[in-house]
Structure 1
């Protein structure tokens, strides 16, 4: 378990540093006319993730390597299948986002996780799967004017853009 904690903390620190560098490519301070700069949220969330990963690393470094906790497995065998299911479905959703866009990938991801993986009823699943893209569009694109990736579905949004913009 101890090795897994070290590796995980170091991997999170590396990812955080990379995200912070990308966040610094945009302004991270307060913009007088528009509020927080475009890199503020990515930078500061990544900085918090870096700090937490550092705390995990320090905690493990100080812990007793002979303790029972240090000898327990990182993942129990019965946890491996659900973990892999979530990890692979997340990777698939991200890959699908680049091709089909957020408004296709996210509902499919939700459908899988709510209905198939979580065994939630059809009515609740349908409400979430149909409402989430609508809320995302209204919040990000109509309100914040942040255009989300649409992939091959981009032409379908022409009428909505004329209505909203």
Structure 2
């Protein structure tokens, strides 16, 4: 298990460095003209956070008492595959039905069906996450997310915020 943790952490760190280098093609600082971050800001800083998290995992594997033993069992593999398939379906749906439909569908499936969480947890997260993402990305930082066939529904919101 330690070897797998180290290998995956190192691979994620290398991938993070790759993303950070490519993000610097666009400006990563604050853009005074648009009043928001440069186009490479979010990819760069998210990659930096991913690098730090993977580095923490790598460091943890060298501490005395690190867990050893089997990492995968059949139940875990099934769960991981179910989530991977659901994410692939979600990503495939985004250009068709839009982010604001595909994401709540995934969240509902993940929280209520896969995770068996209560309705009191599932509904607020499923509804409020796309609302937050709309106001954060589209209104605040002016990054338009894919809307697919639902785009005409957003015209009144565009008129209000742009």
TM interval, short-chain normalised: 0.7 to 0.9
Q: How many residue pairs get matched?
A: 161
Displacement of 1:31: 3.7
Displacement of 1:32: 4.5
Instruction: Name stretches of at least 5 consecutive residues in structure 1 with no aligned partner.
Output: none
Cα deviation per residue 1:31-59 (whole Å; 9 max; x = unaligned)?
44535433223213312322443454466
Q: Alpha carbons of 1:5 and 1:129: their partners in 2 closer, same or farther (altered >3 Å)?
A: closer
Q: Alpha carbons of 1:154 and 1:5: their partners in 2 closer, same or farther (altered >3 Å)?
A: same
* Higher gyration radius (CA): 1
Structure 2 length normalisation: TM-score? 0.77
How many Å separate the matches in 1 of 2:51 and 2:124? 36
Corresponding residue for 1:44?
A: 45
CA RMSD of superposed structures (Å): 2.9
Corresponding residue for 1:17?
A: 17
Q: Alpha carbons of 1:29 and 1:115: their partners in 2 closer, same or farther (altered >3 Å)?
A: same
For residues 72-83 of structure 1, the aligned pairs below 5 Å read 72-83=69-80
Cα deviation per residue 1:1-24 (whole Å; 9 max; x = unaligned)?
133123312321232123212321
Corresponding residue for 1:69?
A: 67
Instruction: Name stretches of at least 5 consecutive residues in structure 2 with no aligned partner.
Output: none
Matched, 1:102 2:86: no
